[in-house]
Structure 1
Amino acid sequence: MKLKLSLFAAFFFLIFSSLTFANDDPKKITIVLDAGHGGNDFGAKNSFFIEKDYTLEIVKAVKERNKNANIEIVLTRDSDQFLELNERAAFINKIKPNYFISVHLNSATSNVKNGYEVFHAPTNSNAKILAENFIQHVNYPLQNLGVKTANFLILRETQVPGILFEVGFISNQNDASYITSEEGKEKIISEILNFIQK
């Protein structure tokens, strides 16, 4: 009798285990895309473009064009709304994605400074690896300023690897002309999407 009970318990455990893990897909990943600024926080701007609108356009396009069923892309915002930095970090921590990318436009007092760059938290080794992989993969005809560290709140307070991607300097005429052109936007959207899907 004890043997029969033991065999039944083992059989039940195997059935339960198969049901519990049947839908687990090791290939499934979740990525958060964060459109910098929003609402009454305009971010960088020039006479024609505002950072908050540009970043939202980019991340929405990446999400819409993702057709890989094993990749879920979640946006911190999908409209022109203001979110505090700590709200963004809390949202990312709640989602617990594999990683996140925060998209921004750069600006400087000098109109000479140009190029794209990627930041990660100085103490996060996984974020450093993510940043280095990203900068090696992304390529478009602006100066590559490489990978840098920064103590930005969204990088510091999140519990998963994340990077902040500065697409280019809107204060530089050459950068601004490219990144706001249809060709430039299409290239940047496809570069982010291709990295996510690689």
Structure 2
Amino acid sequence: MSKKIVLDPGHGGRDSGATGFGLLEKNWTLDIAKRVGSLLTRYGATVLYTRTGDSYIGINNRIAFANSRKADYYFSFHINAGRGKGFESFTSVRGSKESKRIQGIVTNDVLTFLKGYGIGAHGNSIKTDNLAARGRIGVVTFTHMPAVLFENLFIDTKSENDLLKSEDFKSKLAQVYANSIAKCVGLKATFTPVATASSPSYTRLLKLRKPMMRGDDVRAIQRKLGVSADGIYGPVTRNAVIKFQRKEQILVDGIVGKQTWSRLFG
């Protein structure tokens, strides 16, 4: 039996949402929602969008849209701001047990994926919110179906902003969302879903040298350490590694070997 799923790209039109380093939240949320929706249709879901272009849709209209169409599920996509780090999700304190069940599963799947990029949870990643924040979470409070809002990284944190702009990252993140949502709501794939990444594997020793080492593994440790993720193992990255090694009370040499890698990615 097909499921009717509403995907809600946050903000839009005159409301750009959060901004950072040339990226507008409203554009990113529309992009990721369409990617997720396209994949969910392949699972046989009926996908509806609160907006399909750069238009302003008020909170009440988003709620009315989902309720009037008797949707089965509602998922809202946002980006965080405030120079923090990581991923978090919200349901309402008035949310159903089903909302909280889905929130827990999808959040865990997204965090497993993000671990491969050296990114974790923002505080307690699974949160509830109250009516004092209606401007943000009204869509998960007053909709008549299980609903979850996702805050995808921090737009004003440079390393996470770089990731949000990556086409490869967006494609893989959308696949994680689609696979996880389909699993939660009981949709069966009529195709072979694309496998998504987990934690990065240790493949080589990383250190400062000439020419400087480059690669996705360097980028992963840079994101984990909170420095600019340019994929080049330079002096800034080496200093961040040394600081991390001192904190962990392991061999301090500025080199990422198996021990340091294991402490970084568990």
Work out whether the TM-score is over 0.5.
Answer: yes
Question: % of aligned pairs identical?
Answer: 31
How is 1:12-27 mapped onto 2 (pairs within 5 angstroms)? Answer: 27=1
Pair 180,69 (structure 1): closer, same or farther in 2 beyond 3 Å:
closer
TM-score by length of 1: 0.80
Partner of 1:118: 89
Cα distance in 2 between the residues matched to 1:74 and 1:35? 11
Counterpart of 1:47, as a letter, is F
- The Cα RMSD (Å) is 1.4
Q: Is the 8 A contact 1:118 1:148 kept in 2?
A: yes
Aligned: 1:129 with 2:101: yes
Aligned pair count reads 169
The Cα of 1:195 is off from its aligned counterpart by 1.5
- Partner SS for 1:42: coil
The Cα of 1:69 is off from its aligned counterpart by 5.7
Q: Is the 8 A contact 1:43 1:51 kept in 2?
A: yes
Aligned: 1:171 with 2:143: no
Counterpart of 1:161, as a letter, is P
Match of 2:47 among 70, 73, 91: 73
- Partner SS for 1:177: helix
The Cα of 1:148 is off from its aligned counterpart by 0.3
Aligned: 1:47 with 2:21: yes
> What's the CA shift string for 1:10-53, capped at 9, x where partnerless?
xxxxxxxxxxxxxxxxx311111000000000000113110001
Structure 1 segments of 4 or more deviating over 4 A? none
Structure with the larger RCO, 1 or 2 (CA within 8 Å, 6+ apart): 1
Q: Is the 8 A contact 1:40 1:82 kept in 2?
A: yes
Cα distance in 1 between the residues matched to 2:182 and 2:146? 17
The Cα of 1:64 is off from its aligned counterpart by 2.5
> Which blocks of at least 5 consecutive residues in structure 2 are unaligned?
131-136, 184-266
TM-score by length of 2: 0.61
> Which blocks of at least 5 consecutive residues in structure 1 are unaligned?
1-26
> What's the CA shift string for 1:67-114, capped at 9, x where partnerless?
436311111100000001010011111122221110001100xx3x10
Match of 2:120 among 143, 146, 159: 143
* Structure ID, larger Rg: 1
Cα distance in 1 between the residues matched to 2:41 and 2:71? 18
- Partner SS for 1:38: coil
Partner of 1:159: 144
Cα distance in 1 between the residues matched to 2:172 and 2:147? 22
Aligned: 1:100 with 2:100: no
Q: Is the 8 A contact 1:68 1:197 kept in 2?
A: no
